[in-house]
């Protein structure tokens, strides 16, 4: 039985800089791995590589046992990605943004799903306002809905809790837990330990591009302690 996501000896260089060095990990359906580490540790790079936006300089990534090129563009229909930037068009309304990306990603019943997404994110009342007028938190909530709109089973989220207030963070935790139960594989990075440990089933610590540890969680509060105790 193949892992949903598997990296083998993954490395990535940018000119002089080595962003990732020999990272090997697996993430199975129903698992959520939290990437934890200081700035520049390689978390965003790893997520970029996993979402096929960047090519590794060494090593490989397998999705259900096959490489990205073996899958072709349809693989991206299974990936839900959230980057550092919200990636929304400020001139378009919330509804228009969701409709555009939904259609582009080939989402079935897109109108219904968009309506549902607007409801779930609590943005229904502002559905027809340009997203340029939204606060950071509102845009983040919309970006999360956009990432989940086409029902992906591989979620790659970079700092998903950024800008979210407590109710929104709780809602996200619930959404991710539900996605996990439905069999999604989740890899996400976060500096927000309190929320992250409620989503994650395992924690991967990255430091200067290397994977320094990968293991399960044992009890609340342990993620922050583990991070502090980790060698650099």
Q: Which of 2, 43, 45, 7 is nearest to 25 (CA)?
A: 7
Q: Does 232 bind another protein (CB under 8 A)?
A: no
Q: Does 87 bind another protein (CB under 8 A)?
A: yes
Residues 6, 11, 46, 76: which binds another protein (CB under 8 A)? Answer: 76
Which positions from 140 to 169 touch another protein by CB under 8 A, shown as an x/- string?
------x-----------------------
How many residues lie near another protein (CB under 8 A)?
A: 38
> What is the torsional sign of CA 158, 163, 169, 175?
negative
Q: Tell the smallest beta-carbon distance from residue 29 to another protein (Å).
A: 19
Give the C-alpha separation, 187 to 26, whole Å. Answer: 10
Report the residue count for the chain: 232
Which run of H or E residues covers position 100? helix 94-104
Give the C-alpha separation, 178 to 183, whole Å. Answer: 9
Residues 9, 65, 106, 122: which binds another protein (CB under 8 A)? Answer: 106
Give the C-alpha separation, 150 to 75, whole Å. Answer: 12
Residues 38, 77, 137, 163: which binds another protein (CB under 8 A)? Answer: 77
Q: Tell the smallest beta-carbon distance from residue 161 to another protein (Å).
A: 18
Which run of H or E residues covers position 8? strand 5-14
Q: Tell the smallest beta-carbon distance from residue 225 to another protein (Å).
A: 26
Q: Does 38 bind another protein (CB under 8 A)?
A: no
**Which span (74-82, 109-117, 171-179, 189-197) binds another protein, by CB under 8 A?**
74-82
DSSP labels, 10-70 = EEEEETTEEEEEEEEEEE-TT-EEEEE-STTSSHHHHHHHHTTSS--SEEEEEETTB-HHH
Residues 91, 170, 182, 194: which binds another protein (CB under 8 A)? Answer: 91
Q: Does 230 bind another protein (CB under 8 A)?
A: no
- Of residues 120 through 139, those in contact with another protein by CB under 8 A are none
Q: Where does this chain bind another protein (CB under 8 A)?
A: 14-18, 48, 51-55, 73-79, 81, 83-92, 96, 100-101, 103-106, 146, 208
């Amino acid at each position: 039985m193949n892992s949903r996501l598997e990296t083998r000896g993954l490395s990535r260089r940018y000119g002089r800089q080595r962003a990732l060095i020999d990272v090997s990990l697996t993430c199975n359906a129903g698992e959520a791995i939290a990437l934890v580490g200081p700035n520049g540790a390689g978390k965003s790079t790893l997520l970029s590589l996993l979402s096929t936006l960047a090519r590794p300089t060494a090593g490989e990534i397998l999705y259900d046992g096959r490489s990205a090129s073996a899958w072709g563009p349809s693989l991206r229909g299974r990936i839900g990605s959230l980057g550092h930037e919200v990636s929304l068009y400020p001139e378009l309304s919330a509804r228009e943004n969701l409709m555009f990306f939904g259609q582009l990603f080939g989402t079935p019943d897109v109108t219904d799903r968009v309506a549902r997404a607007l409801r779930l994110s609590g943005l229904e009342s502002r559905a027809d306002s340009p997203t340029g007028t939204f606060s950071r938190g509102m845009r983040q909530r919309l970006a999360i809905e956009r990432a989940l709109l086409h029902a992906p089973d591989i979620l790659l989220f970079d700092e998903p809790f950024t800008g979210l207030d407590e109710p929104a963070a709780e809602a996200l935790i619930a959404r991710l837990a539900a996605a996990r139960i439905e069999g999604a594989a989740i890899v996400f990075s976060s500096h927000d330990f309190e929320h992250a440990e409620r989503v994650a089933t395992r924690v991967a610590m990255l430091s200067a591009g290397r994977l320094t540890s990968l293991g399960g969680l044992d009890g609340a509060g342990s993620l922050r302690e583990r991070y502090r105790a980790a060698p650099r």
